[in-house]
Amino acid sequence: MKIRDKILVVEDEQSISGSISAILSSAGYDSLVARSGEEAITMVTSHCPDLVLLDLGLPDKDGMEVLKSIRQWSSLPVVIVSARSHEREKVEALDSGADDYITKPFGSSELLARIRTALRHTRTTLGNSQIAQSGKFTVGDLTIDYDKHQVLMHGENTKLTVNEYKIVALLGKYAGKVLTYDFIIRELWGPKAKNDNQILRVNMANIRRKIEPTPGHPQYIFTEVGVGYRMREDEEN
């Protein structure tokens, strides 16, 4: 028998937690609900969930406090549930150790995709099992060859510059997950790098010209407005 993943839904609004629980159970997950921050922290220790879905607007304390408290002793995946237009809040949560976020209102397929990605990234050492096994990451017609340091479209080298390659390689390693601008800059150019999103934007425009088939409609690297970038993930993996 397959052991079902257990997900703790931290949400004070009963109608929302009810519909999330229904989606989770139909997808084969067990779910638990906590209605406050205190209850959430208690339930993380007593029930050892595989993932926490955390609403930031809770009655007793800020969800961000709950996240920081969990992160003091646990690296279990936490996906933040946030309102649209709260970009700064999303960035703060990601920089405080959240694995990803989902914006209200969301559909069930989007919710399940975020959960699958967050669970998978905690279970593989490299973050992406595809790369760990083959040295390559493939989605659609795009392949990142980590051994040759090349990005291929339809098998043809797209001739990215070193910096462009580094950006795509990093996004591929965390495919399906949003990476904040700050995270990308720090990972690629070190902790002392100038926090300049403009350099990243210029590089991204050039990358898109080389890899995206339709200008203005990215199919591989998506912009999360005010937050960062997310590489598409192969659904079959």
In the complex, the smallest distance separating the C-beta of residue 102 from Ca ion, rounded to whole angstroms, is: 14
List 4, 36, 43, 57, residue binding Ca ion (CB under 5 A): 57
User: Residues near 228 by Cβ (< 8 Å), separated by ≥ 6?
Assistant: 91, 94, 178, 179, 180, 181, 183, 184
Nearest residue to Ca ion, scored by beta-carbon proximity: 57
Check binding of 12 to Ca ion (CB under 5 A). Answer: yes
C-alpha distances out from residue 46 to 43, 55, 89, 113, 223, Å = 5, 20, 28, 27, 38
**Stretch of residues binding Ca ion (CB under 5 A), selected from 51-59, 116-124, 176-184, 228-236:** 51-59
From first CA to last CA, the distance across the chain in angstroms is 21
Residue 9: both structure tokens together: 């839904």
Nearer to Ca ion, 57 or 127 (CB): 57
In the complex, the smallest distance separating the C-beta of residue 58 from Ca ion, rounded to whole angstroms, is: 6
Check binding of 212 to Ca ion (CB under 5 A). Answer: no
Nearer to Ca ion, 81 or 211 (CB): 81
Identify the CA nearest to 56 among candidates 95, 109, 102. 102
Check binding of 224 to Ca ion (CB under 5 A). Answer: no
List 55, 164, 224, 233, residue binding Ca ion (CB under 5 A): 55
